[in-house]
């Protein structure tokens, strides 16, 4: 297969942690883990990233993205979006996912993506819609990506978001961040090498971070999106 330079450049653009979408640094609740004393080193950060990739992204976000990518109408995409809402227990995580997703959808809609424009109108009418993995599928379709490329960008965005949040929180420095990204990159490649079955139901099991997020309001800690 010939090297597709144009699509590779598009992947680099959308997978950049500094992509100017108004919501490119979602903390994913890392500050809650730090406050609970469960996150204080790069090794522990790598464990959190691996947990999120294997037990949340691969088993839930990726499944939802694949469904949204093949959905035949905006109504069908919205049904997948509502499944993302129902499957995310923590209100803070739901809000953060919607904020990041809506920011990305807004940018791509303004850039003239036809499906993004249409789906943005649907999202505007329902506060439950606009979750990040569903919007990633919509944007990928507008960008002309194959499903495999859309999955790659989605997984890499999670990695860069977690690592960027750890840097902003002062947990690690830039060199350690590169090491964490390299370790997570290898795991993502392993996960992407396996194609999930078509009838697999989305599910996640990340109790430590879910509990840390739920305890946030008691400690007056909020997840950030910058």
Domain ranges, ordered by start, for the chain: 24-219
| Cα dihedral 65/181/209/130 (nearest 10) | -30
- Architecture of the domain made up of 24-219: Orthogonal Bundle (1.10)
User: What is the overall mean pLDDT for the chain?
Assistant: 87
| Cα–Cα distance list, 170 to 46, 162, 165, 204 (Å) | 15, 12, 9, 28
pTM over 0.85: yes
Residue 219 has what pLDDT? 57
Q: Does residue 1 surpass a pLDDT of 50?
A: no
pLDDT, tens digit (0-9, with 9 covering 90-100), for 138-181: 999 999 999 999 999 999 989 988 998 899 889 999 999 999 99
pLDDT, tens digit (0-9, with 9 covering 90-100), for 66-87: 999 999 999 999 999 999 999 9
pLDDT, tens digit (0-9, with 9 covering 90-100), for 90-108: 888 898 899 989 999 999 9
Residue 23 has what pLDDT? 45
Residue 26 has what pLDDT? 61
Q: Could you tell me which residue, 215 or 111, shows the higher pLDDT?
A: 111
Round to whole Å and give the CA distance between 57 and 44: 18
Exposure of 53 by Cβ count < 10 A (0-12 exposed, 13-18 middle, 19+ buried)? buried
| Percent of the chain clearing pLDDT 90 (strictly above) | 62
Chain-centre distance of CA 41, in angstroms?
23
């Amino acid at each position: 297969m010939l090297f597709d330079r144009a699509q590779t450049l598009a992947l680099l653009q959308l997978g950049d942690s500094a992509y100017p979408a108004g919501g490119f640094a979602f903390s994913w609740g890392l500050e809650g883990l730090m406050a609970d004393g469960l996150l204080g080193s790069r090794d522990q950060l790598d464990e959190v990233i691996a947990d999120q990739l294997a037990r949340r992204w691969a088993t839930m976000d990726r499944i939802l993205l694949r469904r949204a990518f093949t959905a035949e109408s905006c109504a069908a995409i919205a049904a997948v979006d509502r499944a993302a809402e129902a499957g995310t227990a923590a209100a803070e995580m739901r809000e953060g996912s919607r904020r990041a997703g809506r920011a990305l959808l807004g940018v791509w809609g303004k850039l003239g993506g036809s499906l993004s424009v249409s789906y943005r109108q649907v999202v505007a009418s329902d506060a439950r819609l606009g979750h990040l993995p569903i919007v990633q599928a919509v944007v990928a379709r507008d960008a002309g990506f194959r499903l495999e490329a859309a999955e790659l960008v989605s997984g890499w965005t999670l990695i860069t978001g977690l690592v960027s949040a750890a840097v902003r929180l002062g947990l690690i420095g830039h060199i350690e961040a590169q090491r964490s990204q390299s370790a997570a990159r290898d795991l993502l490649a392993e996960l992407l090498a396996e194609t999930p079955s078509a009838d697999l139901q989305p599910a996640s099991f990340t109790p430590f971070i879910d509990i840390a997020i739920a305890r946030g309001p008691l400690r007056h800690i909020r997840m950030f999106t910058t």
